[in-house]
A = this chain, B = another copy of it.
Amino acid sequence: MNKHLLLENVRQALMRTEETIIFDLIERARFRLNDKVYARGAFGPAVGDDSIVGYLLRETECLHARLRRYTSPDEHPFYAGLPVPILPTLRFDENPLRPNTVNLNADIRELYEREIVPLICLPGDDQQYGSSAVADVTCLQSLSHRVHYGKFVAESKYRASPAQYQALIDARDADGLLSRVTDRAVESAVLHRVGAKARVYGRPPAGDDSPPPIDPAQVVCIFERWVIPLSKKVQVEYLLQRTP
């Protein structure tokens, strides 16, 4: 039983993803921007046409796919054509989601590389490409997990008001759904909470007068500009695909 899939646990599971994302962003922010790790084809035939980050992400996904990561309804790969699991298949009887194909990982990767990394990392190159890329893969995975958790949020909202949601779905009213899933008070509480967490988790230890590894305002910005809007996009796309 995967309790984080149960709708009554959605709120707690969502809050947990905030910690994970903040921890992961802090680890990435220890390294410089290192923009070479995002350049496609920059490292020759062994890496291929992809970037270092892409190479590591795809290989990591191959490995995790063998451990059946992407059979879980809350996990979404960035790459297609991954190997089949070597672990016996799990049944997810508790999975509340309807079948769907929503996957916004291409958007997440693009925004992450173009906006988030330059925001949290100091400019320049410290040559720590491997360490940076490992941290990038972890960040991409935790951001993807959070954003796609919007499916569970959407299912929960639908079940609380099925008639209203079904009318909007039947009318193919994406704007109406976006406005319906939007709750400014909850968003404001999320932003307040992630700011507070970032201040706590990013506090240098007593006796260490170095600057905090991450500016809490940047964490708030990441949630406000990208995580929350993408999560709502997942919610709308999931609802538009939802079979009654």
Contact = CB atoms under 8 A, between A and B. Distances in A.
Q: Is the interface of A mostly helix, strand, loop or mixed?
A: helix
A12 B59 CA distance: 33
A130 B64 contact: yes
A46 B86 contact: yes
A56 interface: yes
A200 interface: yes
Contacts of A206: 193, 196
Given A20-B27, A208-B12, A90 B52 contact: no
Interface in A75-131: 86-87, 90, 126-131
B133 A2 contact: no
A56 to B, nearest CB: 6
A199 B98 CA distance: 39
Nearest to A127: B90
Interface in A43-58: 43-44, 46-47, 52, 56
Given A200-B203, A201-B201, 4 more contacts: A15-B208, A23-B27, A44-B86, A63-B63
